Amino acid sequence: MIHFEPATEADYQDILRLNEAAVPAVSSIDEPALAELHRQAQFLTLARSEGKLAGFLLVLNEQADYASLNYQYFKNHYDRFLYVDRIVVSEACRGQGIGASLYTALFEAAPDIPRVTCEVNVRPPNPGSLRFHGSLGFDVVGEQDTDGGAKRVALMSCERQAGG
């Protein structure tokens, strides 16, 4: 059984371990950076299975002070949005619907936000994440190089009608 809950500082070490296990699908992060993102986050939601961290979702809104090139793309293109900075599900728990459930909880918690945005690596390739996000209604709205050209990302948006 999966249980969802907001993250606290006490969860940081578990979040960091899970995040680092998912690199390069997500970028590496240290505890001070995680704490700053958590301070600004609209949502930092955990999924637990049998008491262990199975996944997490970190989401910022358009008012965050975040220098990420990917976040800045959306800030420059949209007035109102939620930005999924990272979603990670442990390898042992993949295929159980945890990622989709985290997104469902996000959509339900923010019904009046017109779009949810994210980016997915296309170099190095992450075809599973592209398929997953596409299945949830995300469309590619742009691409850009990051990390000095070492990475290329698909910038994605899930346009939503107010109230749902």
Neighbours of 131 (CB within 10 A): 11
d(CA 38, CA 64): 11
Per-residue exposure over 60-96, b if at least 16 CB sit within 10 Å of its own CB, e if not: bebebeeebebbebbbeebeebbbbbbbbbbeebeeb
Digits of tens for pLDDT over the chain (164 positions)? 889 999 999 999 999 999 999 998 889 999 999 999 999 999 999 999 988 999 999 999 999 999 999 999 999 999 999 999 999 999 999 999 999 999 999 999 999 999 999 999 999 999 999 999 999 999 999 999 998 888 999 999 999 875 55
153 sits in which H/E element: strand 151-159
Per domain, the residue ranges of the chain are: 2-159
Tell the CATH topology of 2-159: Aminopeptidase (3.40.630)
d(CA 160, CA 107): 9
